[in-house]
Structure 1
């Protein structure tokens, strides 16, 4: 902050016209104060780190000068021309208001209006102590790097009451609950109560994602941002396509919105303080922007501008947000489990009232279960958490009970006496990994604030304009977390004595054909052509390597079907097949293998093989 203090005989000022789009509202244009200290001030960008510190330091400076010159009248005057590195309008306004509030509690104070061009006239007394300038720099007690919402700060202090609800609707105190047959729920409950997200050990999926040449760290980017190799990009694209198709079938209306938004947009600023997330901040043309951490902003602004009637609702706005950004703490970043840039399928439903919202909520609950099952995560792979205000629970206990009953397993219930966030109910399906850490996948929320905050209106049956209730849902959760969960599940499968696999429809190579020698390569390619016509991803290991090494390589890549062809296979028209996870080797016609692969793919989305079909032509990315 830059400060210029003048001991004056008088100052007189008058607001002339607006200097910013949304200046301070005023009832009187001007003001005059005699025998006073005029405190000209300009809030700078570094002040945003700790505005409370800046306010306190300013008051201290004013106190010292007032004591020296024996002044009892103070004028607080915003004066942007003192600095070329101005802070945001919202922070400047807050610092001005807070400073005035503290100064006026001690002195007879007057505040010049913020956001206006003003004419002023003053007469400085001219004695040795009548002019003083200061630069106030925030100390080390400021916030973490990046923007941080008030909701995030409150999240750490929230008073939660923890319970376990069984499918019969009984609410158990968490301390007395016996977790027989519910070991993952026990781990999940302990993890949630601890509220610690720090990482002591790298989870197994990190080694797997690199060894399988799926995903890797990008040293040239910010931590928590990743590069996707061709195989990983194919898996990610298939998941994105599948989730999008599920949402469109449900009735989603697909849109696309910007990646960044203005910090000073009045509606967005309020929402930022109600959403628990840290933001990436950037500057352009002397304005500050934040990178979106969800698709809410664009969808709500779009809904605000739309003409809606009750016949339009529920309106299901959908966007595959690639990317959303949350500046998670460095010590919490963990591979694909907790990252800073992620892909979030985000579908909001605008509903006429709570009754319609609850009906829609149930439908979306089933959509989330079906979506996770489709990607390869069954109900036994996830744990349900329901987070609810006591007021909503007391009025709608049966509704909450039905969610747990539909899920068919005991669920963790977190209950709050007061509503801290914008929602009154939220559920999550959480995956517990090999290190007993939990991550939320699917989620949905009943939002009772943002319809009004964004001034979204619809015409009801009686012609009156009303604000909708908004549901926030991601049926899968972040796509990156789905990949994390599938890799962790495969690792735990191996640890329990099984064979790690990916779902058939997501395997980069579904069939590998290995010729016994070079003279059978052409036949192997012809065989691959037949599989490819059936929309099966197939490749040919035509490298000059031993058969043992080729088979070991295929197993290391988790290839579901390995077909070996030689003289016998070429003459008989049959193939020798190794099926991953099975001990016996079978000899069948190629069409049998094709049918099995297609049956296991369950009519899921398809993409062609992401690399050259011949292994000899492929680059090595990592592993």
Structure 2
């Protein structure tokens, strides 16, 4: 506390200012700059989110959050959910309100209504929301006792709010927020007033069981999104439309890559062209691993229950596993590859001179996903995990982790992905002591810092046997996908009694790394399909060139072109149909084939091809041998276009 009646506010840059006690956070923001007062949505006071209208009565560390901050976005969108609820209350008297949280890229609110909402209803709700925003109503917080809250919402017939209040611990303080004629049970905080919520869109309506249980009543859930500027909303809506256009399920069918059938929900079927793409990825994976000293292994899909009990999967992962009986014994289909790799390590004695041992496996795993969570190749019940398990001396841990980080980075550059890194720490349900976990987490942190990588910490999100580094790839639409992971494990070597003979002739315990790069081959194919919108780089494209004879008399030369390309190892096909050349070109473009080679009289005479690229258009005529050399070079260099 400064002079009598004054308080000290310390800002994120370390600077401090004095204010009279009772000054609101909005007035503090205004004293810093008018722009901050205009853009600030909420404040973080000593780590707690607080409304800008709240007075500050003691010294505090204060940070003002805008829409640029994740927490600012959440407050903005949760406030928009309240505006939507007010509009629904006005238009549909008697509706009952459940919950209305912010979610990734938007918000929703669940309502109990007599009739389902129609698309026309959403349009009416949006119009009413616009009036509420224009009125610029303040969000006003009030605190109340448990008894008062039960009475208030009980008298209003808001059964879901009453149930929420009754389920809260007795000592939890309750608060409400009011804007205009609408009052909601809410912890807050909220933006200062409805006028801040400039641009919004109600996206869809769906059924949702109260509290996610099918035993409860089905409610109407309205999804929406909101932004402080119309240009930001327009950009978001454009990205959503582009994401629909790029949907890997749609493109997968159009390009004949894969399919999902009712006979095997969550179990994808790869077609011949999809297998070409998959094999190219796997061949690339093998080549790169061989360069880096990995040995490839293959382990069984079904293993005895005792192994899964020993590994901890039985206790920690059983709900996600499939089971069977063999010769009266209990077996499980593997959800992870690591126990099999461990058995290979244990199959013989190892010297410290052999370590590190790097074992790579393209292992098929099965996990029991709920049917509602299944999504094309992105969420499946069986997938090929590009696993590797590294067994090493304790002194080698940092270098091995850095080596894996470098490898992940090299892989992602080939596909044009940038990435973000996250470090996940000990979960609530975990094997081993806190001390061992702290040591493992410290090793991962040291490696990240040695590589100079920025990273975010996810507290409590590690695997049950060890902390991990996750790589989140950023695609061409700015979306992120978690793919690669590095997990440091001191637990499994202990559980399975893994040893090596040290320099002293005694047995010692190795350390283990579990890591993936693609994560799942199937999911990575889905991500690549959407990233490239099906226009795969030539080295990955199932068909790299299509030969297009102009008329039937050019078929003989076209076949010679095809034969020559095939002899060079280029994936080629010919469109020999009696169709106009422009139609053939459009068809090839629709199939996202990188190169179209038009051949007519002139090309046949000169031993050339007229080259068209699916993105760059007409590239002119080239001698066939020159085109072959150019394409082979593009394939070898894995040009990302």
d(CA) in 2 for partners of 1:175 and 1:314? 49
Matched, 1:210 2:246: no
- More deviation in 279-288 or 359-368? 279-288
Matched, 1:528 2:562: yes
d(CA) in 1 for partners of 2:588 and 2:312? 54
Matched, 1:590 2:624: yes
Q: Secondary structure at the match of 2:250?
A: helix
Do the aligned partners of 1:386 and 1:413 also contact (CA within 8 Å) in 2?
A: yes
d(CA) in 1 for partners of 2:504 and 2:105? 46
Q: Which residue of 1 aligns with 2:423?
A: 386
RMSD over aligned Cα atoms:
3.8
Q: Which residue of 2 aligns with 1:450?
A: 492
Q: Which residue of 2 aligns with 1:68?
A: none
Matched, 1:240 2:274: no
Superimposed CA distance per residue, residues 480-538 of structure 1 (whole angstroms, 9 cap, x where no aligned partner): 122111111123xxxxxxxx621211111111110011111110010112222222111
Q: Which residue of 1 aligns with 2:385?
A: 344
Matched, 1:411 2:452: no
Q: Secondary structure at the match of 1:601?
A: helix
The 5-angstrom pairing of residues 272-283 of structure 1 reads 272-274=314-316, 278-283=320-325
Do the aligned partners of 1:431 and 1:485 also contact (CA within 8 Å) in 2?
A: no
Q: Secondary structure at the match of 1:446?
A: strand
Superimposed CA distance per residue, residues 376-423 of structure 1 (whole angstroms, 9 cap, x where no aligned partner): 242x2x332221359767997696265267475x4332134x977211
With normalisation by structure 1, the TM-score equals: 0.59
Q: Which residue of 2 aligns with 1:431?
A: 473
* Residues 456 and 174 of structure 1: CA distance in aligned 2, closer, same or farther (over 3 Å): farther
* Residues 245 and 289 of structure 1: CA distance in aligned 2, closer, same or farther (over 3 Å): same
Match of 2:413 among 356, 373, 389: 373
* Residues 596 and 272 of structure 1: CA distance in aligned 2, closer, same or farther (over 3 Å): farther
Report deviation, 1:332.
1.4
d(CA) in 2 for partners of 1:396 and 1:310? 24
* Residues 277 and 566 of structure 1: CA distance in aligned 2, closer, same or farther (over 3 Å): farther
Query: Higher relative contact order at CA 8 Å, sep ≥6: structure 1 or structure 2?
Result: 1
Q: Which residue of 2 aligns with 1:461?
A: 503
* Residues 213 and 174 of structure 1: CA distance in aligned 2, closer, same or farther (over 3 Å): farther
d(CA) in 2 for partners of 1:234 and 1:395? 40
Superimposed CA distance per residue, residues 190-212 of structure 1 (whole angstroms, 9 cap, x where no aligned partner): 86999xxx9x9987111011111
Report deviation, 1:314.
0.9
d(CA) in 1 for partners of 2:301 and 2:535? 35
Q: Which residue of 1 aligns with 2:151?
A: none
Matched, 1:307 2:344: no
* Residues 546 and 447 of structure 1: CA distance in aligned 2, closer, same or farther (over 3 Å): same
May I ask how many residue pairs the two structures share in their alignment?
411
Do the aligned partners of 1:429 and 1:440 also contact (CA within 8 Å) in 2?
A: yes
Report deviation, 1:471.
0.2
Matched, 1:546 2:584: no
d(CA) in 1 for partners of 2:449 and 2:551? 58
Do the aligned partners of 2:401 and 2:444 also contact (CA within 8 Å) in 1?
A: no
* Residues 602 and 471 of structure 1: CA distance in aligned 2, closer, same or farther (over 3 Å): same
d(CA) in 2 for partners of 1:316 and 1:193? 44
Do the aligned partners of 1:274 and 1:422 also contact (CA within 8 Å) in 2?
A: no
Matched, 1:357 2:397: yes
Matched, 1:501 2:535: yes
Q: Which residue of 2 aligns with 1:133?
A: none
* Residues 231 and 395 of structure 1: CA distance in aligned 2, closer, same or farther (over 3 Å): closer
The 5-angstrom pairing of residues 135-284 of structure 1 reads 204-221=247-264, 223-265=265-307, 267-268=309-310, 270-274=312-316, 278-284=320-326
Q: Which residue of 2 aligns with 1:400?
A: 445
Do the aligned partners of 1:511 and 1:562 also contact (CA within 8 Å) in 2?
A: yes
* Residues 560 and 404 of structure 1: CA distance in aligned 2, closer, same or farther (over 3 Å): farther
Match of 1:475 among 517, 523, 533: 517
Do the aligned partners of 1:348 and 1:472 also contact (CA within 8 Å) in 2?
A: yes
The 5-angstrom pairing of residues 61-100 of structure 1 reads none
- Unaligned ranges ≥5, structure 1: 1-160, 162-172, 182-188, 492-499, 606-623
Report deviation, 1:297.
1.4
d(CA) in 2 for partners of 1:177 and 1:315? 49
d(CA) in 2 for partners of 1:191 and 1:468? 41
Q: Secondary structure at the match of 1:506?
A: coil
Do the aligned partners of 2:311 and 2:495 also contact (CA within 8 Å) in 1?
A: no
Q: Secondary structure at the match of 1:244?
A: helix
* Residues 295 and 174 of structure 1: CA distance in aligned 2, closer, same or farther (over 3 Å): farther
Match of 2:610 among 573, 576, 596: 576
Q: Secondary structure at the match of 2:539?
A: helix
Match of 2:370 among 309, 315, 329: 329
Q: Secondary structure at the match of 1:311?
A: helix
Do the aligned partners of 1:259 and 1:324 also contact (CA within 8 Å) in 2?
A: yes
Report deviation, 1:229.
0.6
Q: Which residue of 2 aligns with 1:285?
A: 327
Q: Secondary structure at the match of 1:568?
A: helix
Do the aligned partners of 1:268 and 1:297 also contact (CA within 8 Å) in 2?
A: no
d(CA) in 2 for partners of 1:439 and 1:190? 17
d(CA) in 2 for partners of 1:300 and 1:598? 41
Do the aligned partners of 1:337 and 1:484 also contact (CA within 8 Å) in 2?
A: yes
Q: Secondary structure at the match of 2:561?
A: helix
